[in-house]
A and B are shown apart, each in its own frame.
Chain A
Amino acid sequence: MTSAFTPSRIAASLGILVVFLAGWEWGPGALGIKTYLIPPLSSVAAGLMDLFRADNLWFHIWVTTLEVVAGFVMGSLLGVIGGYALGLSVTMEVVLSPYILALQIAPKVAFAPLFVLWFGFGLEPRILIAVLIVFFPVLINVMTAVRNIDPDLINLARSFKASRMQVFWKIQAPASMPPLFAGLRIGATLAVIGVAVGEFAGGNSGVGYLIVLTAGAAETPKVFAAIFVLTVIGMLAYWLVILAENRVLHYMPSREHKGF
């Protein structure tokens, strides 16, 4: 199988990175933008070092990562359970879907201050927001996947006298894996957003807290550095989902082509 990652494509992709980084380093100066608004790349790097030295960055990374993982795992689990429940039972869907939809449309990040009020300055409110945000895409994907399974596949299993549990474990669960993983991918990136918003809203830990703290002190290089750290955490979470996906969905056609 030929790879989509040809040397020329990799070179082009790296080229964009170089142009972007160079533009960041010298662009603001060339355009006369004040460095406290957009600091050049080198001072962002220095800011990152500063965060490690002076602001105990490892601790904040640990807190944020913990919240992301907890929020993602709990949100996905709830989404998977809810998705199968709604997908398998028309009654459940008809009864519950208006409320689930309302929950989805409600801007959950707006609840952040409320959650802080309720649960204090610990990790709980951040995890809760992440759970609520991650939950929905996973639920919708799993529910739709279960609904879209070819009824003849179910009939095939039934014709062999499969029990409901066998139909679920041998047909419905594996058949819904590809959309489930698509939902998890979205969930992984959303979890980071949920956690960051939760950290903005209160408390004194986490990378999101560092952003509020340093922005308040107009330490722009550190703000950018913290955003960079959040991005890395999000990318790692996404990458882990891809890794799991590639293991579980190894049977899918032409996965060899796909990088992301």
Chain B
Amino acid sequence: MELALSLGAPAEVYDVVIIGGGPAGLSAALYAARAKLRTLVVDKHPRAGALAMTELIANYPGVDEELSGAELLARFRRQAEKFGAEVVEAQVLATQLTSDPKQVITSEGTYQGRTIIIAAGALGRSGSIPGEKEFIGRGVSYCAACDAAFFQGKDVAVIGDSREMPDELELIVRFARRVYLLPRKRLDEEVRAQVTGHASVELLERAQVKRIVGEGAVTGVEVVDEGEAKVIPVAGVFVYLSGSRPTTDFLDGSVEITAQGCIAADPRTGATNQPGVFAVGDVTCNEVRQAVVAAGQGALAALAADKYLRRAKRMRQQWS
């Protein structure tokens, strides 16, 4: 039998750990790597994020052929990796930004960085489903790897259609008897084929979720399906929703957040109130959400991180 053992924090410390693999994060990675900084990008998924979902991008300077957002991102990434940046695919769960080195706790383990650039984008959700908060830990879960086994042989609901939902569902179907899948919007064909490939999954695309109900623990999900209100009896509910709010749920409370929920950052450098922590791109609520703006901010933050690490007075130019 094989026993998976995680050793925890790797001993190595990066100069820069970048959270997010969109245009801001990967541009920061390019400039950081070119400044000879040990650079790591933690990216949730190459197809997650606002740019990755863009079918055609026509306003990125210098790119005049027909290119999808995902293809443009793949180029960003190749270029950053060419200069030595590392990219890991992992979900950031928590951060410790006041320690030295700072820590980024992810689904794949903990990474340490002397500086952190937050470029996590703005696909976070706002609000919650009625009953959701009440039943957290009593049947409501966000982590199939953690909790799916508790629902062995039981019926569960999966609410939402975020990018991680299909992968999470793969884990849930190993345990649950029946899975009611309740996406907010119509699934694209590829995802639909993947999820309906499981005999135990029942896709309810028309049903609208009203609330999570229970007594002490979850007992069901109230939905309206074709005008008819009903309760689907389930023992567990896994929630995978996304929205358009800055993604800041992994922060440790040490970084200033504005009343709008954005990270407060100096627009010239991305510097936050926390020394050595920078924020760029949509997570700072730019007035315009454009790849080219995010990329420019990423470059500035990398040079600012370099300046911080050198304790220098000025940023170093990269001429070529």
A joins B in a complex: no
Interface residues of chain B, those whose CB is within 8 Å of chain A, are none
